[in-house]
Amino acid sequence: MFSLNNKSAVITGGASGIGKAVAVLFAQQGAAVHLLDMNEAALQTTVAEITAAGGNAAAHKVHVDNQEAVKAVFETIGTVDILVNCAGISHIGKADTTSEEDFERVFRVNVKGIYNCLHAGIPLMKQNGKGVILNMASIANNVGIPDRFAYSMSKGAVLGMTLSVARDYLHEGIRCNCISPARVHTPFVDNFLAKTYPGNEAEMFEKLSKTQPIGRMGTPAEIANLVLYLCSDEASFITGCDYPIDGGFIKLNN
């Protein structure tokens, strides 16, 4: 079950965090993984780890908000069976405290970045008469998160794009779903705590962990497991869905 043998998978944000966990797992399951990221050093490290374990991986340094650059990468890859859009950034601020520059920066990466990859990847899937797309959304699609105005905007757009793509390509063999994680312990979280709460990292980590009813943050590997299922042939009857993976955050918080 969950074999990805002979599948070509493109994973954006594949050099760290959730994207890296997805890339490692997909390679273990037999896929040839193509990692798109702007951090060349992290890309090379991740590819080296995958190939050392016997996997098939390639690195592509690219900014996902650059449509021409993204298109060139996809043309180089040639065949895309699976597209996982993990690349994204966060931002802290309310509507009246978010600058235009920051709003547009979040939009360019989290919304336009996914659009660019869809725009480049879907034609390749149409040529094969099949394909699977998985977009990384957030619990911010479903609930109000304090001080996350721009981020919530962008993740609401991810959900909308997911439903639109699922509908538009339903009869061309292309499935499209998204997942909505709550807080996941990634390097981003550690960097955020070190920058925002120097000296109180452990205390704030515990506080943030307990916002999930399950009492902890998720792990990138746990998110990757759900991504694998939704991108596998075992999920062939699933499209146009958003899957919360949130430790009970949406339904169990009072």
- Mind telling me the catalytic residues? 151
Strand 174-181 to strand 32-37: parallel, antiparallel, or no bridges (unpaired)? Answer: unpaired
Contact assessment for residue 153 and residue 110, using Cβ atoms and an 8 Å cutoff = no
By CB atoms closer than 10 A (0-12, 13-18, 19+), residue 134 is buried
Sign of CA dihedral 189, 54, 42, 60: negative
Contact assessment for residue 196 and residue 170, using Cβ atoms and an 8 Å cutoff = no
Contact assessment for residue 25 and residue 225, using Cβ atoms and an 8 Å cutoff = yes
CA–CA separation, 240 and 226 (whole Å): 15
Question: CA-based angle 24:204:89, to the nearest 5?
Answer: 45
Q: Which two tokens stand for residue 118?
A: 């869809």
Integer-rounded Cα radius of gyration of the chain: 18
